[in-house]
Chain A
Amino acid sequence: MADDQSATSGRGLSRRRLLLGGAAAGVGAVAAIGADYASRQSPAPVVASADVLTGADTLPFYGVHQAGIATAPQAHATFVSLDLHEATDRAALERMMRVLTDDAARLSQGEPALADSEPELGLVPARLAVTFGFGPGFVARTSVPAPGWLGPLPAFTIDALEPAFNDGDLIIQIAADDPLTVAHTTRMLLKDTRSFATVRWTQSGFRRARGSEQEGTTTRNLFGQVDGTANPVPGTDDFDALVWSVGGWMAGGTGMVLRRIRMNLDKWDRLDRSGREQSVGRYLSTGAPLTGTAEHDTPDFTATTAIGLPVIAPFSHLARARSADSSQRIFRRGYNYDDTPTGAEISNSGLLFAAFQADVTAQFVPIQRRLDQLDLLNEWTTPIGSAVFAVPPGCAKGGYIGETLLAG
């Protein structure tokens, strides 16, 4: 009931923002110009400020699927991978997941966690979604078989994997539009895991701040590329078939791949704009394929230039990533990272490439194989971290994430 209200409220707000987005930007500009004048006249109108506050927006926690997958990507995300203690057996996993589920549910609805030591920080959910995924070591502690694809990806020649960003027994994806909310949620959930597991790695990333762009705008990566145009659309049959697992304890769940892809911005700087566009096969301005004019135009791989060369080069990222087999697709929900550079570099940047698909082996691996064999973009990108998790289905109130596995 409360969840329904939240969802309705969120949708209503989104629709209003969609309709008024342009107007609101105008209001913002006027407000900025007039701020000094207004502040000397009267208090700022309450209605105007309430309209732009989005910290109270919530996403439903309980449901057939876990939150944080088919939901519009929030501005900030932290991925935490944990190693289970040796003594953490099946019964302990159930206790841990019950506590984690309860606190994730509370925080996502703007309530403090149970025994929250900083309860005031729990009051701004900002579309918080917490998503749990299980690594091979988690599932192995039960008597239930793991999906065949759960485990490290096959080795790719382009990989330069650093153990600091690989694998893990449990992943928690914590995403919200407010980084303080993400930090507090991360801390509260890791307090819950203390007696069961230790942190293996954390990776944090960001997209555009909420309200900076129209909702639904395809994000850009730090190369400046429009990134994710071909993503399946949540809410469609196409998305459901590609993303959600069927059958067994994973029914309603999905497979998660998190690759840390270093983007060599210093090397990218040496490439001119047309070279950058050729490497991907899309225009930087709009993300349109080089054979089209709008972002979502269908690329024409047969189109040739005056001298007979393909307009979209066969070695471009666009050409290589695409399969004739439409089941070989994935859903991307990535975040940029921009960490402290080392040595003479001025950037340590890249992409937390989070991909969801029902079957990692059948969907993710063939795409990655093609890119591994040939993709001009490989000149500037290097996968340095890789992890695969089985994301179990969601649960109903009173249940807990992982019950389909742990109750068996």
Chain B
Amino acid sequence: MRTHTTSLLTLAIAAAIALTGCATSAPQAELQTAGDVVTIDNAWVKAADSGMTAAFGDLVNSGTQDVTVVSVTSPASTDLQLHETVKNDAGEMMMQQKDGGFVIPASGSLLLEPGASHIMMMNLVNPIKAGDSVTFTLTFSDGSTMEFTAPAKDYSGANENYKGDMNSDMNMNPETDMNN
């Protein structure tokens, strides 16, 4: 009951904001960069002592155009990549770098989660301990950026296999794969 009421209220507010936007600030909308319209909810990083780990969260695009994340940096890692999970010829889920970056659809979201798309962090500078805050900067195809911090959590999952010769020492559990 309560949830239902709240979502109706939220819709009403959203509608009101949308109406206002149409009336007064339509010209400005075209000036908005990807960095202005993208936010992240529930961001977190898997704690790790060394080597590799990954970051997750729900990227939300409130703009009217699709946007593309082309790269990511963080002081916590010297080598970050945008990864996706794909099925290989043997039917196993493997992770690999995402060609062209992450596309976040207009008025939509892209969920980064264990077993799916994620921000891969290699060559950790220091151990990332549970409760640490890790800062990231996303760069979009229009050159704009968005910065966020994510808390680190201990997490037993996210032990995916990697395609190619990634020298994965993140895979702390080599016999474990996505299909377990």
Interface residues of A (CB under 8 A from B): 5-6, 9, 50, 53, 56, 92, 94-96, 98-99, 102, 110, 114-115, 117, 191-192, 194-196
Contact check, A195 vs B154: say whether CB atoms are below 8 A apart.
yes
User: In the complex, what residue of chain A is closest to B6 when comparing beta carbons?
Assistant: A5
Once the chains bind, are B151 and A99 in contact (CB under 8 Å)?
A: yes
Nearest-neighbour CB distance to chain B for A48, whole angstroms, equals 12
Stretch in contact with the other chain, from B29-37, B124-132, B165-173: B124-132
Question: Within the complex, what minimum Cβ distance (angstroms) separates B95 from chain A?
Answer: 18
- Chain A to chain B contacts (Cβ below 8 Å), 29 pairs: A5-B2, A5-B6, A6-B2, A9-B2, A50-B1, A56-B1, A56-B2, A56-B3, A92-B129, A94-B131, A95-B131, A98-B131, A98-B151, A99-B130, A99-B151, A102-B151, A114-B42, A114-B44, A114-B151, A115-B56, A115-B153, A117-B157, A192-B130, A192-B153, A192-B154, A194-B154, A195-B129, A195-B130, A196-B130
Contacts of A98 in B (CB 8 A): 131, 151
Q: What are the residues of chain A within 8 A of B148 when measuring CB–CB?
A: none
Please list the 3 inter-chain residue pairs (A to B) with the smallest Cβ-Cβ separation, ordered nearest first: A95-B131, A9-B2, A99-B131
How far is it, in angstroms, between the C-alpha of A82 and the C-alpha of B1 when the chains are bound? 38
Across the interface, which residues of A come within 8 angstroms of B151, CB to CB?
98-99, 102, 114
Cβ contacts under 8 Å, B47 to chain A: 195
Chain A residue nearest to B56 (CB atoms) is A115
Q: How big is chain B's contact interface, by range?
A: 10 to 19
Interface 0/1 of B99-137, CB less than 8 Å to A: 000000000000000000000000000000111100000
Could you tell me the distance between the alpha carbons of A195 and B151 in the complex, rounded to whole angstroms? 15
Q: How far is the CA of A383 from the CA of B154 in the complex (A)?
A: 37
B6: chain A residues at CB < 8 Å are 5
A205 to chain B, nearest CB (A): 28
Q: Tell me the minimal C-beta distance from B8 to chain A in angstroms.
A: 13
Measured in the bound complex, the distance between the Cα atoms of B6 and A323 in whole Å is 49
Inter-subunit contact A96/B157 (CB<8 Å): no
Residues of B within 8 A of A (CB): 1-3, 6, 42, 44, 47, 56, 129-132, 151, 153-155, 157
A-B contact count (CB 8 A): 45
Given A56-B2, A95-B130, A110-B3, 16 other A-B residues pairs in contact with their CB atoms under 8 A: A56-B3, A94-B131, A95-B129, A96-B131, A98-B151, A99-B131, A99-B151, A99-B153, A114-B42, A114-B151, A114-B153, A115-B56, A191-B154, A194-B154, A195-B129, A195-B154
- How far apart are A181's CB and chain B's nearest CB, in angstroms? 16
The reply to whether A96 and B2 form a contact with Cβ atoms under 8 Å apart is no
| Distance (whole angstroms) from the CB of A89 to the closest CB of chain B | 11
A385 shortest CB reach to chain B, Å: 29
| Distance in Å: Cβ of B45 to nearest Cβ of chain A | 10
List B contacts of A50 (CB < 8 A): 1
Among B2, B42, B129, B151, residue most surrounded by chain A Cβ atoms (within 10 Å) = B2
Q: Which residues of A contact B130 (CB under 8 A)?
A: 95-96, 99, 192, 195-196
Establish whether residues B155 and A115, one from each chain, have CB atoms under 8 Å apart when the complex forms.
yes
A71 CA / B68 CA spacing, docked (Å): 47
CB distance from A8 to the nearest CB of B (A): 10
A328, chain B: closest CB distance, angstroms:
40
Q: What are the residues of chain A within 8 A of B154 when measuring CB–CB?
A: 191-192, 194-195
Considering the chains assembled together, what is the distance between the CA atoms of A114 and B3 in angstroms? 20
Closest partner residue, chain B, to A110 (CB atom): B3
Among A50, A56, A99: residue with most chain B CB under 10 A: A99
Residue of A nearest to B157 (CB): A117
Nearest chain B residue, comparing its CB with the CB of A94: B131
Q: Chain A residue with minimal CB distance to B9?
A: A5
Check B2–A95 contact: CB distance below 8 A: no
Complex Cα–Cα for A149 and B2 (A): 43
A115 partner residues in chain B, CB cutoff 8 A: 44, 56, 153, 155
Docked Cα-Cα span, A96 to B153, in Å, equals 10
Taking CB as reference atom, which chain A residue is nearest B153? A115
**In the complex, chain A residues whose CB is within 8 Å of the CB of B2:** 5-6, 9, 56
